[in-house]
Amino acid sequence: MYTTKPVFRHLSTVLSYLLHPVFIPLAATLILLFSHTYVSYLPPAIKSFDLILIILNTILIPLMYMFLLQRTGYIKSFRLDTRKERYVPLSLYLIFIFITFMILKKIHQPVIVYDLFLGLTITSFLTLMVSFRWKISLHLMGLGVLSGFFFAASYRLRYDFFLTWWLVSLVVAGFLSTARLIHGQHKPVEVYAGFLTGFTVMAGVMLFLGKLWNH
């Protein structure tokens, strides 16, 4: 039912690469730093430091480890088709996300930046735990995190800019869900559960848990 014309499979592959979960922290940070809120008035040096740190710790280094895991035969591809293949990559990603969070905590940053990476850390941990029993969709988990961040940021900052991004993220989630199903990588329940889990955890951290952590 989901594996129809080759053109749709090619489009779903492109969409899956463009919306890969490793890009979620950078996407959220970029939009936050250039959102015309008080966060956007951070000194350029701090913005540059944040972006370089995030690119290194959440994209380049994790992808380098993925490449090494593929070369050693631990994983067959970057798609992580089985639950067993996910354990080491997700564990490493959790470590690097947590390191990023701790570094950001030690330098001058707005609280909402801390909360974003606290939410990413908790979501990464939960994703790892769930993966021991269930192959939940990492792509939709990531997009759920991004959507939850936009939703919570629109409430905390009282700014429609983030509400617009939240609505956009819902539309993109629909396309990405379809792409993952066309690709045959997941059952529908794994896709929907991924998005809802990511959204709920990130929104919960941003609206409630983050306040307790930072006070």
* In a domain? residue 209: yes
Domain count for the chain: 1
* In a domain? residue 1: no
pTM of the predicted model over 0.85: yes
* In a domain? residue 68: yes
- For the cut 60, the answer to whether the pLDDT of residue 213 exceeds it is no
Question: What per-residue confidence (pLDDT) applies to 3?
Answer: 46
Question: What per-residue confidence (pLDDT) applies to 46?
Answer: 93
* In a domain? residue 30: yes
When pLDDT is cut at 50, 70 and 90, the band that residue 2 belongs to is very low
When pLDDT is cut at 50, 70 and 90, the band that residue 17 belongs to is confident
Q: Which domain holds residue 161?
A: 6-213
The CA dihedral of 171, 176, 179, 183, to the nearest 10 degrees, is -160
When pLDDT is cut at 50, 70 and 90, the band that residue 1 belongs to is very low
* In a domain? residue 47: yes
* In a domain? residue 145: yes
Residues 150-190 have pLDDT tens digits of 999 999 998 889 999 999 999 999 988 887 787 777 788 99
* Chain position carrying tokens 């759920």: 144
Task: Give the count of beta carbons closer than 10 Å to the beta carbon of residue 49.
Answer: 16
Question: What per-residue confidence (pLDDT) applies to 62?
Answer: 94
Q: Which residue has the higher pLDDT, 174 or 211?
A: 174
186-194, Cβ contacts within 8 angstroms, sequence gap of 24 or more: 186/135, 186/137, 190/134, 190/135, 190/136, 190/137, 191/137, 191/140, 192/140, 193/136, 193/137, 194/136, 194/137, 194/138, 194/139, 194/140, 194/141, 194/144
Residues 128-150 have pLDDT tens digits of 999 888 889 999 999 999 999 99
* In a domain? residue 160: yes
Residues 53-108 have pLDDT tens digits of 999 999 999 999 999 998 998 888 777 777 888 899 999 999 999 999 999 989 87
* In a domain? residue 172: yes
Question: What per-residue confidence (pLDDT) applies to 8?
Answer: 62
